[in-house]
Structure 1
Amino acid sequence: MQKHSKTHPYSLYTSQKVLFTCLLALLLTGCSTSSLSFSHDSSSDTQLASQKAPDGVSEAGHRLHIEKATQMLKTMSLDEKLGQLLIVEYTGTLYDNTALPDMISQQYVGGLLYQPVNHNFDEPNNTASAISMLSQKAQKDAKIPLIISIDQEGGGDLANKGGVNKLETIFGATQNATDMGLTGDPQVAAKAGSQSADWMKQLGINTDLAPVVDVQTINPPPDWLATRMFGTDPDTVIKFAGPFIDGLQQNGIIGCLKHFPGLGAAVGNPHKVLPKVDRTKDDLEKIDLAPYKALLQQTNPAMIMTTDVNMPALDAGVPAELSPKVVDGLLRKELGYSGVIITDGLYMEGLYDNGYGPHSPSVAELSQIAVKAVMAGNDLLEGPYTVDQVQGIINALEKAISTGKLTEDRINQSVMRILTLKMDYGIIK
């Protein structure tokens, strides 16, 4: 999730016996985790499918993580579960002077996203040691260890290299995605992913919201996305995005394909408007969805990010990340993705064009969008940046459960995916 400008300053257990029985059967039979799924309460529309084991984690180890996550889930309050769904941002520099301590220790958020534009890396947090110390403070305050993330795609605005390189002031400029693609050598992308992983580990960052797998299909490409795409055809994007995410994940950093279902032909910037991509379903399959289909087979993406785009062929007039047809139907069921699905920034103004033009959302508006995002099938909600916003979302989700719009079983499915992911990548020891 790339921010271009500063526009915004827990009755568990209806399914636990079934879950535990399923786990026990799987452990006794040695069933492959690639087809592992959990039964759940009949009121839920989807099955909980586990993530595949990442590189460096055995299938047996992954199954033990699922068992551990199941037991951990039993001890969590509803507030703790709902907090795990949230990846927050924050304004300010010094940890104790920001909203982070309260959001982490009192609201149990699942993670955070560093944003230089929010002054997170201003002096004195402009060194690797300072950022590492901040990450350590955040993890120390967390009841459940945090996903600590950043958008690190490659490039460098200060060096006029474009792209998105939010560690440029710490480690310098790198090649952007377009330049990587032009080399014709996918090892360039593999090395970029590996180098980014090394840098992030020095800072206590465990998740990279990258790479972009949008396919550039309009000329000129949108300026906010132009140098962030690997190429103008799906094959090039697949050829470079695969090694990039492998470079991250094989070195212990969670990677994330984005922006599903595709922004390569979007004219408007979703930070400001709701873009429209008016392709046929057949064209979407051949172009925008092709990288996801291929990379789900070739790699093991820990996360996929959904985004704000109107694709009439998929669900006319509904932003993709809020559409059950797109998230649960297309990504989860049709494409068979069983990992963690994260939203783009839920404060992006294109989501809030209610007839009076796009605008920054109120707490109430943001909270209702968050409920819609979970109903659509997303696991992680990115974007709240104040204590009031976090509490508003938690309250709205609790109300949605009490009124039947959501079930606690549905929340449990997402929390299981998140906890298992954290264990697979060593975030939860």
Structure 2
Amino acid sequence: MTKLYDNNKDPKKREAFINDLLSKMSLDQKVGQCFTIHWGGSMVTPYVMEAVERLHIGGIRVTPFGQNSRRGQHYHQSLNYDYDYPKDYKKIKQNLFIPGPAVYVSPEQYAERLNQLQALAANRNPGVPLHVSIDQEGDISRDFSFAGINLFPSAMGLTSTGDPQLVYEACKAVALQLSAIGVTNLHSPVLDVNINPNNPEINIRAYGDDPDIIAEYALASIKGYMDGGLVPTAKHFPGRGDSDIDAHYAVPNVPGDWDRLDAVELRPYRALIEGGLPSVMLAHTTVPAADPSMQISTVSPEIVTGLLRERLGFEGVITTDSITMGALMEKYGVAKSCALALKAGCDLILNKVEDEFRDQAWIETKRFVEDGEISEEQLNASVKRVLTMKYNLGQFDKMGQVDAAQAGAPIRDQRLIKLSTTVAEKCCTLLRDTESLLPLRPEQTVMVIEQQVLDGYSGFDVFCNNKCFNQAMVEQSKNIYCVDTKFKATQEDTDFLMNYVDEVDVIVATNYYWRLCPANNTALIRQLIAKGKKVIVVTNCPYELGAVPEAVTVICNYSVTPESLKAAARMIYGKLDSQGTWMLKHYAKPTEANMESTYEIKGGITDSGDNEIDQVVF
């Protein structure tokens, strides 16, 4: 158990404080504490203010890079918004912006805005600070990319360092930077055992494909997060690694009997629960070994209460994944899904919408309590766990306020800056170079083809943007043709760059994995190879999806972050040796080019058109 959660606080004093607070709360306030709602961008609008003041929400899930609204792209867009509201109920205000990247916000400015929302929460009677959650897993799964924040590779990249202590330091660095801004909760680490290399949703977000390795590195991660001041949330329980379906669009299934479930999916959870894990996030999946009725796990009492609480003995906070993912919505809709999840034993509902589904979910959950479908005793137990989590974190000491003027200090800490470079270099791996194309010489003429990651997801300031790899290559040589394409090159992209390929000696092309766009630049790379061109592939994914089978030279850096792209560029020009450790147990290191391709992806966004998303997706 690490320092943040070792109960240094007097347990009797804590119990008395929480019980007194709970006794002063109305039913409306208790229901509100069970919700985490989404706040995108950095504008404190009436929609989020009213959610704090009228819905009494317990916390917010922040996405500073993206502005969403009622007009945004959700996975539940096809659902009907009709609902039988109570008489005279006045709905919370909504955002009606055109969705897209949000304006740049500095750490200091963002901390000021979070302080503003915390002040609203403190003025409630009784005052309860907000928990502030974020996704910052690593690689491209990161919700704060501004101002030169020190970023780190994916979970699989962390494992590739072969150094759990370095992983601890990296995760502590993530937490130190985010907690200074005002973030309190991190929706990480991913404990999914990525057995299926065709997994479109988990992939390199997992620490690997072996439960014991995952447990070791995830345990180092949670200790780092906690020592850095955040509440980590392990996900996606009970597991989503053995699937070729994305739960955002359909319902995955965890196969096998109890022995298989216990030995594979549950093994990392047992280790982390024993190690002091404070929070768990449910997956939207079916698990016949735990619930033969095939009920989706988020709303399954057998899985939430029977398996996680009773069999595994977990006593911390249980949250849902985004309740608006398609796997659940098509069956129950938003409002009922929220109420059913709380009834099943969840404590927090992650409701990532900015429309009237927020009101409906709050009303429906309150109705479940009033009608006796959720007992008041169960509701109190959930609220008590949420309040205890905040108390243990010290949020009541300053009611969630941080020193906004110092919010950027950890980002500028030279130790963290150096650590970000070290971790990027330690996991950068040369998978193969069968024709000895490396190292390149500065006098060789090189075309660099870099995929565009949508603004926001890539970051879009001078420190982090979708031209970082081109910039890193130019720092190594001026003999560079700088090129970019859509994430999956369009026909127009391909036709244009083919006019120039004969002018260069070698081509360096990125071929990243990104959950939102599973079809990448494999087709373009194959076309270039078929044309007889020398192609070096840089990917963040060691599986066939990234490491194109036909390519004779492949570098895997496990990340699209600036430091990882610099590491790949240095390796290409012979200034960095391959340092990554191959930690996958069920997938052989691709050391030779293989003309046979077996990769197939199911579910999720299919390979149609240009495979592009044109706005942020929540």
The verdict on a shared fold, with TM-score over 0.5 as the criterion, is yes
Name the structure 1 match of 2:235: 258
TM-score by length of 1: 0.79
Match status 1:369 vs 2:346: no
Question: 2: CA distance between counterparts of 1:330 and 1:57?
Answer: 25
1:73 matches 2:22: yes
Alignment-mate amino acid for residue 248 of structure 1: Y
Deviations 1:173-203 (Å, cap 9, x if unpaired)?
3221111111211112201211011111221
Q: Residues 60 and 427 from structure 1, CA distance in 2 versus in 1: closer, same or farther, beyond 3 angstroms?
A: closer
Aligned partner of residue 243 in structure 2, secondary structure:
coil
> How many residue pairs get matched?
359
- 1:209 is displaced (CA, Å) by 0.9
Q: Does the residue aligned with 1:88 lie in a helix, a strand or coil? A: strand
The amino acid across from 1:206 in the alignment is T
Shift of 1:267: 1.6
Q: Which residue of 2 aligns with 1:426?
A: 394
Between the aligned partners of 1:308 and 1:123, the Cα distance in structure 2 is 29
After TM superposition, give the deviation of residue 53 of structure 1 in Å: 9.1
Q: 2:129 maps to which residue?
A: 145
Paired residues of 2:129 and 2:396 also in contact (CA < 8 A)? yes
Distance in 1 separating the partners of 2:224 and 2:56: 30
Could you tell me how far 1:408 is from its partner in structure 2? 1.1
Change in Cα spacing, 1:139 to 1:311, as seen in structure 2 (3 Å) is: same
**Percent same amino acid at aligned positions?**
27
TM-score, normalisation: structure 2: 0.56
Deviation at 1:130, TM superposition (A): 1.8
**Contact 1:342 / 1:378 at 8 angstroms: preserved in 2?**
yes
Moved more, 112-121 or 284-293: 112-121
Identify the match of residue 126 of structure 1 among 105, 126, 147.
105
User: Does residue 193 of structure 2 align to residue 215 of structure 1?
Assistant: yes
Question: What amino acid is aligned across from residue 107 of structure 1 in structure 2?
Answer: L
| 2:4 partner SS | coil
> For residue 173 of structure 1, what is the aligned residue in structure 2?
151
Quick check: 1:114 aligned with 2:62? yes
Task: Specify the alignment match of 1:26 in structure 2.
Answer: none
1:124–1:130 Cα contact (<8 Å) kept: no
Query: How far has the Cα of 1:383 moved from its partner?
Result: 1.5
Describe the shift of the 1:410–1:271 C-alpha distance in structure 2 as closer, same or farther (beyond 3 A).
same
* Other-structure match for 2:385: 417
The unaligned stretches of length 5 or more in structure 1 are 1-51, 158-163, 355-360
Letter in 2 for 1:104: V
SS of structure 2 residue aligned to 1:113? strand
Q: CA deviation at 1:321?
A: 1.2
Is residue 242 from structure 1 mapped to residue 219 from structure 2 by the alignment?
Answer: yes
Aligned partner of 1:305 among 281, 284, 292: 281
Task: Determine the structure 2 residue equivalent to 1:61.
Answer: 10
The CA distance in 1 between the partners of 2:204 and 2:39, in whole Å, is 27
Q: Is residue 183 of structure 1 aligned with residue 132 of structure 2? A: no
- The 5 A counterparts of 1:301-340 are 301-316=277-292, 317-340=294-317
Q: 2:170 corresponds to which residue? A: 192
TM-superposed CA distance for 1:59, in Å, is: 5.4
Query: Greater Rg, structure 1 or structure 2?
Result: 2
Measured in 2, the distance between the counterparts of 1:71 and 1:325 equals 32
Indicate how the Cα distance of structure 1 residues 129 and 117 shifts in structure 2: closer, same or farther if over 3 A, else same.
closer
Amino acid of the structure 2 residue aligned with 1:308: H
Per-residue deviation, 1:301: 1.2
Quote the RMSD (CA, aligned, Å): 2.0
Cα drift, residue 146 of structure 1: 0.4
Alignment of 1:220-235 (within 5 A): 220=198, 222-235=199-212
Name which of structure 1's ranges 83-92 and 324-333 shifts more when overlaid on structure 2: 83-92
Tell me if the contact between 1:56 and 1:250 (Cα under 8 Å) persists in the aligned partners: no
Runs of 4+ in 1 over 6 A off after TM superposition: none
- Report the CA distance shift for 1:400/1:216 in structure 2 as closer, same or farther (over 3 A): same
Q: Does the residue aligned with 1:169 lie in a helix, a strand or coil?
A: coil
TM-superposed deviation, 1:376: 0.7
SS in 2 for 1:218: coil
Confirm whether residue 397 of structure 1 aligns to residue 356 of structure 2. Answer: no
Structure 1 residues 112, 336: CA separation in 2 closer, same or farther (over 3 Å shift)? same
Counterpart amino acid of 1:114?
Answer: V
Cα distance in structure 2, aligned partners of 1:105 and 1:137? 13
What is the match of residue 3 of structure 1? none
Q: Go from structure 1 to structure 2 and tell me whether the alpha carbon gap of 1:321 and 1:56 turns closer, same or farther (over 3 Å shift).
A: closer
CA separation in 2, counterparts of 1:272 and 1:172? 32
- The 3 A distance-change label for structure 1 pair 116 and 413 is same
Name structure 2 gaps, 5 residues minimum: 69-99, 398-618
- How do 1:266-305 residues align onto structure 2 when only pairs under 5 Å count? 266-297=243-274, 299-305=275-281
Residues 391, 308 of structure 1: alpha-carbon distance in 2 compared, 3 angstrom cutoff: same
Letter of the aligned partner of 1:78 in structure 2? Answer: L
Trace 1:42-57 onto structure 2 (pairs within 5 A).
Answer: 55=4, 57=6
Amino acid at match of 1:189: V
Shift of 1:119: 2.3
Map Cα deviations across residues 226-271 of structure 1 (whole Å, 9 max, x no partner): 1111111011101110011101112221111111000110221111
- Range 250-259 or range 123-132, more displaced: 123-132
Pairwise CA distance, 1:124:
3.9
Paired residues of 1:102 and 1:387 also in contact (CA < 8 A):
no
Asked if the contact 2:42/2:110 (under 8 Å) is kept, the reply is: no
Letter matched to residue 252 of structure 1: G
Alignment match, 1:45: none
CA offset at residue 154 of structure 1? 1.3
2:40/2:64 contact within 8 Å kept: no
TM-superposed CA distance for 1:391, in Å, is 2.4
Find the aligned partners of 2:169 and 2:46 in 1 and give their Cα distance: 35
CA deviation string 1:83-135 (max 9, x = no partner): 0000000345411x351111012211000001246428955443211211111
Q: Per-residue deviation at 1:367? A: 1.1
User: Which one has the bigger helix percentage?
Assistant: 1
